[in-house]
Chains A and B, each alone.
Chain A
């Protein structure tokens, strides 16, 4: 059975994650645990662009952070390229981190305002012992379609779309196998969104990346992803290929989400 499917980069089995609920913490004693992820199981094959959708509070960002091990799951397993990374301690994890990268929602707060763009991209390369980090940083700028002179600029000198490209350049410069993109276009205007999405698509093809794309916006997901995971209250309600999901949504929650996509109304009158 597994022979006919492409190799799996991520294998997630019965993933559960709970966090301390500080709002309910009694004055003395431990805070009660709040279960965010309630037993998720799915795979991410190599080369796939997986869309993760869900309303706010559905656990999609938490899932993303567990995938790149910013959070440690309470139970279940996460296997990355066959290796169990579920409970690896930080020191063991550190050399692995190069292989799964993350791009954030807010391109401003994800770039250190005191560092130049070139430094932002090159510094992690030095950490992981990649030779000639400066050259690699410039090539990463080429990849995301920004002029090389941007390396000398500070983040505040760039537009939102440009900053998000820096975020992408920083992720791909490390030559990772997996990138997690968390709501990365929701802060951008529509034309910048389209540019960033096109860029991601090209990069995934050219660099052989696997991508998980978190969004609450199904129209963005439809445009980019090959497969979609719908999360609702910490559980997977649907996991289907994009075309299939849009043609024939199985879960009630998925239909609800699809209905909420605004469609251009030909009868609309501008007032």
Chain B
């Protein structure tokens, strides 16, 4: 059997709309400590590689890799950053461990969204500077075009998408890590401000502040650590096209491809039957439906954490926070939002992330417990 990499430790802050009392470094230090305590390791002695997922524009600091080692216990150790969603960092950590040269990897991602005074500016600068940016339209138009095409080409209605918001915000009320839980009706969603038709304000995940750390270990090392390991049975990270003109506007091709590869690696033939629950991207309401179809997970329990719609959106930390939610579920540590399948703890889960507009990428992990 192929060697597997395990998740052995997790640490996360409850998400907040504002966090003026702490710097991002202090936030990272806090969650790193939680994660190291969770698995009983000393980062100065035991960790072989540190990977942070961060984007200079979002941090407001260029060459940001310089700023990450010390608060993780990684000074003068092997550290690098990846400017993408946290799950891409997890995949990099898995690959490093699979070389056999690294035993323990630490993955970190965070956001101090409340410090970003011009979030639309970050997305504007992500648009093609020759063909798209000069149109001078808020980049949210890309989500509007996708959403409209999705409704036109598939058997889903605006109400179906609004229902995703209602469900996720309700799930979030039970999740102490979430900051946007609410009891809403479909009408509340449909009557909220139309940001970019057919996308309404309540269908967009709200920014939050928070940090996440995940510790990975080889199977041999994992068995001697504090908690029972969660196994990564399959993984894939797919990058689509940056060119809007070749996109499929109604279907997330990268997610379908990442799912196929991760399922094949994990030996999953019928995801709807074999997977107990999933944490998949819901940056916008319609995205959850798109990703559920692309991953063949539409009949499973979707986003019991409340997703980004209910928990909050923390940029590159979003995928990592969803992974941590899935790990808590598989360990039976999710407390008030614990999923049970016939009175038993769930055994298999899928976690998927998307880096948001204007990207066409996707990362999928298949997880299991013994």
The finding on whether chains A and B are genuine partners in a shared complex, rather than unrelated, reads no
- What is the interface of chain A, defined by CB distance below 8 A to chain B? none
